[in-house]
Amino acid sequence: MSFTIILCYWKVTDMKIFNKDIKNIFPGLLAAFLFCTVLTHIYGTCCPMRIITGLPCPACGTTRSVIALLKFDFKTAFWYQPVMPLLVLFCIFFCYKRYYKKQTDKRLFLRILGIILVICCSVYIYRMFKYFPLKAPLDYNRNNIINSVYSLIKTNKTQIGELQYER
């Protein structure tokens, strides 16, 4: 919806590129939505890293940050994901170049994404040292798969040890 508003604001005359892009990414967006919906229903989160290890990933807080941005709560959005303003600016820049100027410079976009990724990982490392595991979104999820498997193995070893002791 926000892309449509931006496009209308820029008075884009040729919607063919936009419609083609939407058509191309729609199956991926639908699959991601279904994937996240199922995982969130089962595990309470859609982050594979958090589900498997219990540790937050570098993108942790992004969903909450977007929700806060949609409510115009910029302070909360920045707290959940400090890199979000860069991502928003990148999206605006991308839409401007792609749909208004009708230019696609893949090298430039990949460089910018690479820089944002490095910044995101740097912020993640800093926040992990400063806030983990006490403050959301950098808290530890004890209901993760590794912890569950470890507990199951530990329980089974204890039960097997007790059975051998009884003999």
Q: DSSP states of 2-32 as a string?
A: HHHHHHHHTT-S--HHHHHHHHHHHHHHHHH
- Please state the pTM of the whole predicted model: 0.69
Predicted confidence at residue 160, as pLDDT, reads: 59
| pLDDT one digit per residue (tens) for the chain, 167 residues | 455 555 555 555 567 888 888 888 899 989 989 998 998 888 888 888 888 998 888 888 888 888 898 899 989 988 888 998 888 888 888 888 888 888 888 888 889 889 989 999 999 999 888 888 878 788 888 888 898 888 888 887 666 555 555 55
Predicted confidence at residue 163, as pLDDT, reads: 54
Are 45 and 39 in contact, with CB atoms under 8 Å apart?
A: yes
Predicted confidence at residue 158, as pLDDT, reads: 66
How far is it, in rounded angstroms, from Cα 111 to Cα 114? 5
CB count within 10 Å of CB 91 equals: 13
How far is it, in rounded angstroms, from Cα 18 to Cα 6? 12
Cβ burial of 52 (10 Å; 0-12, 13-18, 19+) is middle
